[in-house]
């Protein structure tokens, strides 16, 4: 009888300890997700968000093309390439390069080389070109 009583107390103690650990974990998890939900500044803003060269009238068309992926960006560039100037044009083309690289690596390399050839070292997107360079040689 005493063995059963001691066993029951041990089970209740383990259950209480597990409940306390779970409650503490959930509290920590809520605090962490609350800080992630409302950051004071965006964690990683788009590198091409503040570049010049895109007419305001084309902003919504660009966003729609980005949602469509590589094909949408290709069509957008074919249609509006001559209305957009660097550095924004180069940034959009680099976005296209990254998206199309899995489907058509030769196309990705071709477009990357064209962007790289016309981009000076002082351009705001030069660092991005340097970071992608090893992937598209």
**Which tens digit of pLDDT belongs to each residue from 82-118?**
988 888 999 999 999 999 988 899 999 999 999 999 9
**Residue 19 is part of which domain span?**
1-36
Does the residue 51 lie in any domain?
Answer: no
pTM: 0.63
Query: What pLDDT is attached to residue 38?
Result: 40
DSSP states along 25-81: HHHHHHHHHHHHHS-SS-SS--TTTT-S---GGGHHHHHHHHHH-HHHHHHHHHHHG
**Which tens digit of pLDDT belongs to each residue from 39-72?**
433 333 455 567 888 888 888 999 999 999 999 9
Does the residue 100 lie in any domain?
Answer: yes
- Count of structural domains, the chain: 2
What's the CA gap between 101 and 134, in Å, rounded?
13
Does the residue 111 lie in any domain?
Answer: yes
Task: Assess whether 70 and 127 both reside in one domain.
Answer: yes
**Which tens digit of pLDDT belongs to each residue from 9-33?**
888 888 777 788 777 777 777 776 5
Does the residue 44 lie in any domain?
Answer: no
């Amino acid at each position: 009888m005493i063995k059963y009583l001691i066993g029951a107390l041990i089970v209740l103690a383990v259950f209480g300890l597990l409940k306390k650990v779970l409650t503490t974990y959930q509290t920590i998890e809520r605090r962490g997700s609350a800080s992630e939900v409302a950051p004071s500044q965006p964690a990683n803003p788009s590198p091409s968000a503040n570049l010049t060269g895109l007419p305001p009238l084309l902003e919504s068309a660009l966003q729609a093309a980005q949602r469509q992926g590589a094909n949408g960006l290709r069509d957008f560039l074919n249609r509006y390439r001559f209305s957009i100037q660097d550095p924004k044009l180069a940034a959009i083309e680099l976005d296209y390069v990254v998206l199309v690289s899995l489907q058509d690596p030769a196309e990705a390399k071709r477009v990357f080389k064209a962007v790289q050839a016309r981009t000076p070292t002082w351009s705001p997107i030069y660092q991005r070109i340097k970071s992608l360079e090893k992937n598209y040689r």
